Amino acid sequence: CVSTLLMLVTGDIYTLINYVGFVNYLWYGVTVAGLLLLRWREPQLPRPIKVHLVFPVVYLLFWGALLLFSVWSEPLVCGIGLAVMGTGAPVYLLCV
């Protein structure tokens, strides 16, 4: 929250949206990869909604291409977004 307020004071809202957007898309892909990992490691678990594996694999292929393009086109924005995300790790480790 503090880092977001500092960015709002020092920059414009569009820069903040770019930082948060990159990190959001990063975690969307990690979530879909987690789905594939659980289907591989725990195939016997009951699943209320079962998705054919082609859909998450295709999604991850496009996600990876878009993420690489983002890093290639705007490495500073992606790096700052990762740094802002990394500031939450010490707080998490201290509180949990």
User: pLDDT per residue over 29-76, tens digit each?
Assistant: 999 999 899 999 998 988 888 888 999 999 999 999 999 998 898 898
Range of the domain at 35: 1-95
Q: What is the pLDDT of residue 37?
A: 93
Q: Which residues contact 59 (CB under 8 A, 6 or more apart)?
A: 29, 32
| Cα–Cα distance, 34 to 25 (Å, whole number) | 14
- Give just the sign of the alpha carbon dihedral 58, 64, 70, 72: negative
At residue 3 the predicted structure's pLDDT band, cuts being 50, 70 and 90, is low
Residue 10 has pLDDT above 70, yes or no: no
- Side chain identity, residue 72: W
How many domains in the chain?
A: 1
pTM: 0.73
- Give just the sign of the alpha carbon dihedral 56, 59, 65, 67: negative
Q: What is the pLDDT of residue 77?
A: 84
